[in-house]
Copies of this chain bind each other. A is one copy, B any other.
Amino acid sequence: MRLAELSRRSGVSTATIKYYLREGLLPPGRQLNATTADYDEEHLRRLRLVRAMIQVGRLPVAKVREVLGHVDDESLGSSIRLGAALWALPQVPEPDEDDACIRAAHEEVAALVDRLGWENAKCLATLSPAYRSLVVTVAAFRRLGYDWGAEQLAPYAELMHRTAVLDLDNMETLPPGAERIEFAILGAILNEPVLRALHRLAQEEETTRRYGFE
């Protein structure tokens, strides 16, 4: 398959594909000679993955490259690869530890993790980007005068834990190996838009159930 066909089958312009090649998001095609390269189904698949991450997952190009780097890193164990890819996802700006709201949010989140018995989260606390995002967001609420405490967060955390269990159960239906790790990462990235959409849809549903269209 040549570049033009790859473009036609994926719906991505040749200029953009060239851009992705340049940025290292796609591996170069098999070079037939100085001016011709051949692409296969794997390229098409990878290109669709990249597009999904960018358009649906809203990942910046640099993050996509980073995530794919972990996907392709054969030297690591699969759970490490998954973890590395997840940690490469976009983050919230560094929390400013001098801020009183940040410190208070920190304590609330620590209390939450403690209450839930999330032992792993406890030791990863300051390292995990997810943990940091949570602190920053809780702090943002707090600055506006709404206090999210461990108390209010706990039921949400419980539901999210069950969601995570579903995620991993789903993953285990696939055979272990390269496809599984790719699926896991894809899931981590594209599950979020799914969850967000379901959440909003459920909010709409529940709102009209309670209040109608008044």
Contacts and interface: CB of A to CB of B under 8 A. Distances in A.
Interface of A: 45, 48-49, 51-52, 55-56, 77, 79-80, 82-83, 86, 89, 92-93, 113, 118-121, 124, 128-131, 133-134, 136-138, 140-141, 143-146, 148, 152-153, 155-157, 159-168, 170, 183, 186, 188, 190, 192-214
Nearest to A89: B200
A118 B205 contact: yes
B146 A186 contact: yes
A56 B92 contact: yes
A200 B157 CA distance: 10
18 contacts: A52-B140, A52-B143, A56-B92, A56-B137, A79-B214, A113-B201, A120-B208, A120-B209, A121-B204, A141-B186, A144-B186, A146-B186, A155-B166, A160-B198, A160-B199, A161-B202, A163-B199, A164-B203
A205 B131 contact: no
B134 A201 contact: yes
Nearest to A92: B56
A79 B193 CA distance: 24
Contacts of A209: 120
Contacts of A152: 170
